[in-house]
Structure formats: structure tokens, C-alpha cells
Structure 1
């Protein structure tokens, strides 16, 4: 597991296993967002299994499956709502952490400067510069 803290309150990661959840909780995260559609992963990593394991540890768990290349405004809104509803730091995962970074950036359009929304994920290799026009439109809107 590779926790990549985009901000002190939001981190992303490539796919995790149920056995990673105790370390995520120990790191201070209180909400886990699963951005991975079940169709991409083996059954032991499906949403229901991950939810059961997370909730058994007292972690809040939110499923917001994001299909690569087909991110919707519903995904962006759901990510923003899950972040806003969290009682503390949020840990989100997908295949590489990229989709979790993208929905975070788009959900925060207008709340943070576009340079931060692109630059913070870039520290971990997530190239979101192509989203700058979308971020700027959402910030106005």
C-alpha cells in the first residue's frame, strides 16, 4: 500500500486489500472512498467485501465507482459530498490513484486555485494539467 497525501486531509492510493485497512485507520484516516468499479477487480476486492472490512474497523466507507475515461459530474459531486461529510481525513483509492485525484480536483474547483488542484497531485505523478479548462469552468459555475 502506498498512501499518497494530496493534502493533509485527502490521500489517494492504488488498489488496496482488506488487510491494508488497519494501517489506513492507524494513519488517521476516518473515511475510505472506493473509486474502483467491481467489474475491474477480483471478487475479494469488490465493494461489498471492502465495505464490510472497513466498517468492521469503524471506518466510514463510500463507494463511488469511476470508470476510466468516463468520469461523470455525478462522480465529481459524490466525491465532493463524501469528502464534505467526512468527520476527518479521507483516503480514496482506485487502480493507480489517478481517478481518485481527478475527482478530488474537479470537486474542489473554485475552492482551491487551479494551480494547486493540478500541482498537488503532480507531486505523485498524476498529470492533471489537461483538466485545467474544466477546473476553470467549474470554478465559475
Structure 2
């Protein structure tokens, strides 16, 4: 599958659900960090588990962060975790969730409500 990646700013882009097989493409595109905002088991059996994605990402030298967020229910502590990850993570970052909406919203909220 070819990923549809949307750029939010120079450091952050987002996409819909990724698969284990997509990680080599993500690495080849130059992403240094993946942030997963999708809870495990949200998509039943067709959704890869976060630990499987993390293992492959790490094997490609990509930092992996899991900040699971229930759709339409972003919490302040999750934004804090996102801000911390965003500040420390190697750039550029690729965020994802089921559709990409949570990932982009997390970044927008974290950056606009910071400082």
C-alpha cells in the first residue's frame, strides 16, 4: 500500500492506520519518529498491535511512541505526553491513527496550547 501522508508543518506529518509492511517505506521517506495515537484493539483483528509496529520501527532505526487516544476524547495528560514526545523525538515525525484526524488534532492542540 502506498501511504497518503499529509504534512502539518516541517516537523510533523500524519496518515491513517499504518501496517507493519509500511514501515520500510516510512523509513525510506526519511521519518525518524512514529507517534501512534490509536489504542490497541480499536480496529479488532485487522489492526496491527502497537508492540508489533514498535518492533519493526525500532529495527529500521525509527523512534516509536504510543499515546493511545479514544476518538473525540483527547485528555490534557495525553497532550502533555505528546508535547514531551514532540520536543524530544528525532524529526521529522509521522503521526497516525485510524484516519489521521486524531494524529493531526493532537499535534495542533499540543502546539497551539503550549507556552
Q: How high is the TM-score relative to the length of structure 1?
A: 0.74
Where structure 1 has 5 or more consecutive residues not aligned to the other structure, the ranges are 110-137
1:35 to 34, 37, 56: 37
Q: Deviations over 1:71-94 (max 9, x none)?
A: 101111111111111122000000
Q: CA deviation at 1:39?
A: 2.3
Q: CA deviation at 1:30?
A: 0.2
Q: Deviations over 1:10-64 (max 9, x none)?
A: 0000001011111111111100001100021327611111111111111000000
Are 1:45 and 2:39 matched, yes or no?
Answer: no
Where structure 2 has 5 or more consecutive residues not aligned to the other structure, the ranges are none
Match of 1:12 in 2: 14
Match of 2:106 in 1: 103
| SS of aligned partner of 1:7 | coil
Match of 1:74 in 2: 77
Which of the two has higher C-alpha Rg? Answer: 1
Match of 1:23 in 2: 25
Count of aligned pairs: 112
Match of 1:87 in 2: 90
| SS of aligned partner of 2:94 | strand
- Runs of 4+ aligned residues of structure 1 deviating over 4 Å after TM superposition are none
| SS of aligned partner of 1:32 | strand
Q: How high is the TM-score relative to the length of structure 2?
A: 0.90
RMSD: 1.5
**Higher RCO, 1 or 2 (CA under 8 Å, sep at least 6)?**
2
Distance, in Å, in 1 between the alignment partners of 2:8 and 2:47 is 27
Structure showing the higher helix proportion among its residues: 1
